Structure 1
Amino acid sequence: MTGIAAAELTKIRTLPAAGAAVLAALLANALLGWFAAGTPTARIGTLMLAPAYLFLAAPVLAAGSEHRAGQLRISLLAAPSRHRWFGAKSLVVTVVSAVAAVVVVLPGYVLQHGAASTVTGAAARVLGYLLLGLIGFGLAAAARSVVTPLVVLVTLPVLLSPILRGLLPGVVRLLPHEATLSLVGLAAPAALTGPAGLAVSAGWAVLAVGAGWLTTAVRDS
């Protein structure tokens, strides 16, 4: 298991696009934090969470890149057990994403909140980024695609949620984007509480990674 995890870590570290996504998220988050400090802009949840969608491209690439140029076959030759391989990859992606989320979130959060910064608030923001990233990772593994999860996760808050918010508000607040807004304290008053947002976001992450794990285990490479 250790050898598989080391190999997966090496693959992630050698994905230039993943590093670029994390850097772009860091810069965007810092710029937004500086610009929004002490202004009404800080309450525009979808805008303030936008860098998370740059960030989640990194775990999406970690999963989706396995399905280019026969990379998955090579990975499975080195680790014949698909369950062990996907478990190791999921663990590595989770740890790397958690560390990257801290690096991406903290500068912008401190720039925005200054002396009012709290460990709880920063931790909630880091968890939001991490869980969105894991949702993207699981969807990419299930869809065998980099594009599909990005399109789905960006389309939901930009196009679908505004249309459905007036018709099915109880459903909309359970979608990944809205649950994450609740988790980080940027949602509308009628949305989920912070703990409920955490539970729903974690549930989506478990479902997405589980779907990716299952489809990887049962289908042909």
Structure 2
Amino acid sequence: MKFDLILFDIDGTLLDFDLAEKNALADTLNEYNFICNDEILNRYHEINIFYWKQLEKGLVDKKQLAYKRYEQLFSEYGIETDIDTFNFKYRNRLKEGAYLLDNAMEICQELHENKIKLGVASNGGNDIQIRRIKKIGLDKYLDYMFVSEEIGYNKPHKEYFEHIFQKIEDIPKKKIMMVGDSLTADIQGGKNAGIITCWYNPNGESSIENIKPDYEIKDLLELRKLVGIL
């Protein structure tokens, strides 16, 4: 096989985070009898992405991210409530939102059956990601689970991947591939760490000029050919 270990991002690669986020936010807003429509749901999504990008750059930490996204949203829509309590309720709902993306289960099963080690490498919350992975049943195919809250660093920082290298068996970097939907976190992070990268780009988005993945796929099943099981 061309690779001994495949590291998957979770949200936007294996699981549909956008759907989980939308449902969790809508249910929490409804619990408070606050306004809940497509406009506010879409605006939260925009704000959340902005602060996750800030996290990748090291400009905010997880606590600041959680607070600032609601602070901005609530300010724009005139919502008054305790942010910490709202976020607690939101997170509890989010961890139950486990929705597989197309062919995620199939490719993990096939790679596992072909004796390729699998891991997930996520910037998400530890309790949320582990719960969602186990709920959907992907954990039975995984050899490793790496989440930034436990590691203490986020992708794309080299320290995140150095932690992974310390935990895995003696696998050469050239035999490790990072698969993810984020150019700035997954692909740049993988390149910073000196491993092979594969950009999962199901919607055919334009790439960022200075970030070049080794491979690009639209369907997770395309990994069959890349790893040599076709």
- The TM-score, its normalising length taken from structure 2, stands at 0.30
Q: Which has the higher helix share?
A: 1
Q: Which has the higher strand share?
A: 2
